[in-house]
């Protein structure tokens, strides 16, 4: 794991900032060019006190000419804040977490915060290492899509005064979260196929230790039971957000149930792998087998056979998680006591695969 601190090396004990070797303009340089003292420049840039309009215009012109960039990190340390959020996600490549992270970063930037991103690869040990680095580093709060194996550590971090927000995955009811109603979306997917006449509906899922997969399976079983249908599921002990996983699971589903007429895949990458496996098996989509993803992304709409999906507002979820966390960081005493949970709904988007 690598954490990049941009242009700054931080000495916490001495509360000093050593800037990079690249020459950078300082407040003194701006003051000298504008023919004012440093305190006037500071007041003008922070809007903390009245500065004559002509003087302020002269200062801003000097800032522009010198390409002055204020040292936000040093300012944050003086104020006891870092203006930085730590973000822990399993991975980004072709997953919903890429869009969630984009939403987080856009909201953070809007609110004057930076982000430090950690990839955990769904490893409990790597997640633990990331959490410890962040809690001892320079962040004001943490947004996490957790594995569920470090609950005590996450609670300890929150108890220490560092706000924590769960995103996509809610593994601890005592910590605020922004997630999706996975159970209902899977029920709706199964009902959609059943209403189209499908009676052998398979599910490609993931680890039941992760909340989204456990909730999807619950919704899948509930809807099948209500319609007196039998389940056909597949899952292996390997990375689940890959096309290879979807490919292998689809082959397993076809072996289990040769009469399979519909497949519900947990994520788009699994669905892409499923399309390949079905083609190799001589199964036409959607004539022989219909296919749907429960976590629709932009890529699904661009496939040769575009994929029907339960679309998740991923960017909106990320932005909301960041907004709520920043509100708690900025107003710790005014923030509601107790965990706050927001749950988004998925929206069915029909395409060629069904």
- DSSP secondary structure of 57-93: HHHHHHHHHHT----HHHHHHHHT---EEEEEES--T
* Dist. CA 50–CA 243, nearest whole Å: 60
* Dist. CA 277–CA 204, nearest whole Å: 13
Question: What confidence tier does 159 reach under pLDDT thresholds 50, 70, 90?
Answer: confident
Question: What confidence tier does 21 reach under pLDDT thresholds 50, 70, 90?
Answer: very low
DSSP 2-64: ----TTEEEETTTTEEEE-SS----HHHHHHHHTS-HHHHHHHHHT-S---HHHHHHHHHHHH
pLDDT reading at 17 higher than 90? no
Listed by start position, the domains of the chain span: 8-78, 82-180+315-345, 182-311
Contact 123, 334 (CB under 8 A): no
Each as own residue / partner, the long-range contacts of residues 146-154 (CB below 8 Å, 24 or more positions apart, any chain) are 146/88, 146/171, 146/172, 147/90, 147/120, 147/122, 147/123, 147/171, 147/209, 147/210, 148/209, 148/210, 148/211, 149/124, 150/124, 153/128
Question: What confidence tier does 45 reach under pLDDT thresholds 50, 70, 90?
Answer: confident
Domain 8-78 CATH superfamily: lambda repressor-like DNA-binding domains (1.10.260.40)
Q: What is the pLDDT of residues 236-290, one digit of tens each?
A: 777 788 899 999 999 999 999 999 999 999 999 999 999 999 999 999 999 999 9
Query: In Å, how far from its chain's centre is CA 147?
Result: 13
In this prediction, residue 336 carries a pLDDT of 60
* Dist. CA 107–CA 90, nearest whole Å: 20
Whole-number average pLDDT of the chain:
86
Q: Which CATH number fits domain 82-180+315-345: 3.40.50.360, 3.40.50.880, 3.90.1310.10, 3.40.50.2300?
A: 3.40.50.2300
In this prediction, residue 307 carries a pLDDT of 93
In this prediction, residue 41 carries a pLDDT of 86
Question: So what's the architecture of 182-311 in CATH?
Answer: 3-Layer(aba) Sandwich (3.40)
Q: What is the pLDDT of residues 85-102, one digit of tens each?
A: 999 999 888 789 999 999
Identify the residue with better confidence: 333 or 279.
Answer: 279
């Amino acid at each position: 794991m690598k954490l990049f601190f941009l242009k700054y090396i931080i000495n916490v004990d001495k509360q000093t900032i050593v800037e990079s070797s690249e020459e950078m303009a300082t407040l003194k340089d701006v003051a000298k060019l504008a023919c004012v003292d440093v305190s006037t420049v500071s007041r003008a840039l922070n809007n903390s006190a009245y500065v004559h309009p002509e003087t302020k215009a002269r200062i801003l012109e000097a800032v522009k000419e010198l390409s002055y960039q204020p040292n936000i990190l040093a300012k944050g340390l003086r104020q006891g804040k870092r203006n930085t959020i730590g973000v822990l996600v399993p991975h980004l490549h072709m997953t919903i977490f890429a869009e969630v992270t984009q939403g987080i970063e856009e909201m953070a930037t809007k609110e004057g915060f930076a982000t430090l991103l950690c990839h955990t690869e769904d490893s409990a040990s790597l997640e633990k290492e990331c959490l410890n680095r962040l809690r001892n580093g320079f962040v004001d709060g943490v947004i996490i899509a957790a594995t569920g194996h470090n609950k005590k550590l996450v609670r300890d971090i929150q108890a220490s005064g560092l706000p924590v927000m769960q995103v996509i995955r809610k593994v601890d009811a005592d910590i605020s979260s922004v997630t999706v109603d996975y159970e209902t979306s899977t029920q709706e997917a199964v009902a959609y196929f059943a209403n189209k006449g499908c009676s052998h509906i398979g599910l490609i899922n993931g680890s039941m230790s992760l909340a989204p997969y456990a909730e999807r399976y619950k919704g899948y079983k509930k809807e099948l039971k209500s319609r007196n249908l039998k389940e056909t599921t597949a899952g292996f002990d390997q990375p689940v957000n890959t096309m290879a996983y979807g490919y292998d699971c689809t082959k397993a589903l076809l072996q289990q149930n040769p009469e399979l007429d519909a497949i519900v895949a947990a994520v788009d990458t699994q669905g892409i792998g499923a399309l390949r496996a079905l083609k190799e098996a001589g199964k036409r989509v959607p004539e022989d087998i219909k296919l749907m993803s429960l976590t629709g992304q932009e890529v699904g709409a661009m496939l040769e056979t575009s994929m029907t999906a339960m679309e998740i507002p991923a960017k909106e979820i990320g932005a909301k998680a960041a907004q709520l966390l920043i509100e708690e960081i900025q107003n710790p005493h005014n923030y509601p006591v107790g965990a706050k949970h927001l749950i988004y709904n998925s929206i069915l988007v029909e395409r060629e695969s069904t």
